[in-house]
Amino acid sequence: MRKSLAGLRLERAGAIPLHQQIAQYLRDLILGGELPNGSLLAGSRVIAFEIGCSRSVVNDALELLCAEGYLEVVDRSGFKVALEPPVCGHQRLSTHSPYRTPPRLRVEQFSNVWKLLLSDDYEINPMSPFSPGAPEIGSFPFDAWARILRQTWRAPERQLLLAPAPQGVPRLRDAVADFLGSVRGLLCRPEEIVITSGTANSLDLLARMLLNPGDAVWLEEPGFSEARWACSAAGGQLVPVPVDESGLIVSEAIKRAPNARLAIVTPSNQYPLGMMLSLERRLQLLEWAHQQDAWIIEDDYNSEFRQPGNMIASLKSLDKTGRVIYVGTFSKIMFPSLRIGYLVANKVFADIFARGRARIDLHTSTHLQLALANFLRSGLLIRHVRRMRAVYAERHDAVVHEFRHQLADDLDIPTSGIGLHFVAFFTQSLAARISDIEAASRTRAAGVFVQALSQCYLTDPARQGFIVGFGQVQTEAASRLVGTIAACLARH
């Protein structure tokens, strides 16, 4: 492919002739290694058009570089970089063009908010069998999905292709409303739904729309790291609130920050510990939001894969004053790179959110939205979810059995409502020997990734442990994988 000079900006009022500026620009590219030996340049007519000068000026520059040995003429093809361009001293390693000065970036140059976010050492590996929240993609009906994608492109709707809808394609919002009614028992209307690019995108945009710098935000402790990132980026004051077997301790939250602007909770499947928020505390939380004119974001994390007997109605379904914004995603149900999620809010808020989103993000892929709408309408996704509940229950039992068998003295695993992960708490004896951060580092070095529970705390962790995903673990591989972890935790 021929190399372009489209990045060059000529200084027409400067003292240096235009052809010399072009020649210097090319010298720097060649000496800096950005134009490798033998690279073909675009034709002089194309270069002249790209940088806005006459063709004769470009030819003068190219002929000068030929005379200096930087370029060679190629019969009928223009010019190319010489196979052995001249090298003077250390010029090939260091260039000093006044027209091309690369920025010298340092972390200190970023905003304080971004420096804080970049300092967070939270790490996750979605390709690892034990990654929390990572679904099994091998069982997904890709043949049917591919067929629907092709059908969607055969007769695209011109209006949607030219004018994307910030609130989401109407057909998909209709389908999501039906899906939530079938899978979660959440009754909502399409006009209350906004399509987003996943939970992280929803949290980021909601935090920016709801928070002023310094506003207090209740966050579960331990909790979802992406929630604290979103609120930190929006300038919120993070208020960690402990959880117990009944979920978020609302009375403690009110004691710590009664005038908080926002609370972010995972009431149906607390992340990462897995308990459900009790009905008493749900009502207490809703009453606080109503009295304080505050907002609640309900992240319904992995609720689709809880076993039916362990399900509870969403917090949103109890909300009578429109203070709860329900957030969900299809990434955990289908595959992570899909990047389609949704939020459910009262109609007025949904309209305002869509208008605000149009200023900074606009929309999620229209084609994927239409395909997903058709996929939902076909009933294939609900069948897939119901099938995977059984698969995940089997994998959960196999992995938990191996942990309890091989690491009974080191890990304590409470009963789980399934989902896509469980927590294995360190016993006192193991916690005295090693931290979960160091233990996770050891398993990673052995080729097995598990997440340290400590990473989900804003304050000093109350307990040490592992967050263990099992969605991608084949049952026959469970013994071997857990054996690797056991070897890493063995006494030395």
List the one residue out of 331, 314, 319, 320 whose CA is nearest residue 267: 314
Distance CA(103)–CA(182), nearest Å, equals 54
Distance CA(61)–CA(46), nearest Å, equals 14
For residue range 205-236, list pLDDT tens digits in order.
999 999 999 999 999 999 998 999 999 999 99
Cα torsion 428, 432, 435, 438 to 10°: value is: -130
- Judged by average pLDDT, the poorest of 31-40, 393-402, 482-491 is 31-40
pLDDT tier at 309, thresholds 50, 70, 90: low
Mean pLDDT of 241-260: 97
118: left (phi over 0), alpha (psi -120 to 50) or beta: alpha
With contact defined as beta carbons under 8 Å apart, do 336 and 199 qualify?
no
Mean pLDDT of 319-329: 94
Task: Decide if pLDDT at 100 tops 60.
Answer: no
pLDDT tier at 30, thresholds 50, 70, 90: confident
- Judged by average pLDDT, the poorest of 72-81, 230-239, 443-452 is 72-81
pLDDT tier at 362, thresholds 50, 70, 90: low
Rg for the chain, CA atoms, rounded: 29
Task: Report the pLDDT value the prediction gives residue 363, as an integer from 0 to 100.
Answer: 74
Task: Report the pLDDT value the prediction gives residue 124, as an integer from 0 to 100.
Answer: 62
What does the buried/exposed string (b/e) look like for 438-470 if buried means 16 or more CB atoms within 10 Å of the residue's CB? Answer: ebbebbeeeebbbbbbbbbbbeebeebbbbbbb
| pLDDT > 90: percent of the chain | 58
Task: Report the pLDDT value the prediction gives residue 345, as an integer from 0 to 100.
Answer: 95
The whole-model pTM stands at 0.79
Cα torsion 124, 129, 135, 137 to 10°: value is: 120
Task: Report the pLDDT value the prediction gives residue 88, as an integer from 0 to 100.
Answer: 53
Mean pLDDT of 394-411: 95
Mean pLDDT of 269-274: 92
Task: Report the pLDDT value the prediction gives residue 167, as an integer from 0 to 100.
Answer: 92
Mean pLDDT of 50-58: 90
pLDDT tier at 311, thresholds 50, 70, 90: low
Please give the residue that has the higher pLDDT: either 222 or 106. Answer: 222
Mean pLDDT of 424-436: 94
Task: Report the pLDDT value the prediction gives residue 140, as an integer from 0 to 100.
Answer: 93
> Which segments of 242-323 does DSSP mark as H helices, in order?
250-256, 279-292
Task: Report the pLDDT value the prediction gives residue 13, as an integer from 0 to 100.
Answer: 80
Q: How does the average pLDDT of the chain come out, rounded?
A: 88
Task: Decide if pLDDT at 127 tops 80.
Answer: no
Task: Decide if pLDDT at 97 tops 50.
Answer: no
Task: Report the pLDDT value the prediction gives residue 95, as an integer from 0 to 100.
Answer: 41
Give whichever of 3-12, 194-203, 288-297 has the largest mean pLDDT: 288-297
Task: Report the pLDDT value the prediction gives residue 50, as an integer from 0 to 100.
Answer: 87
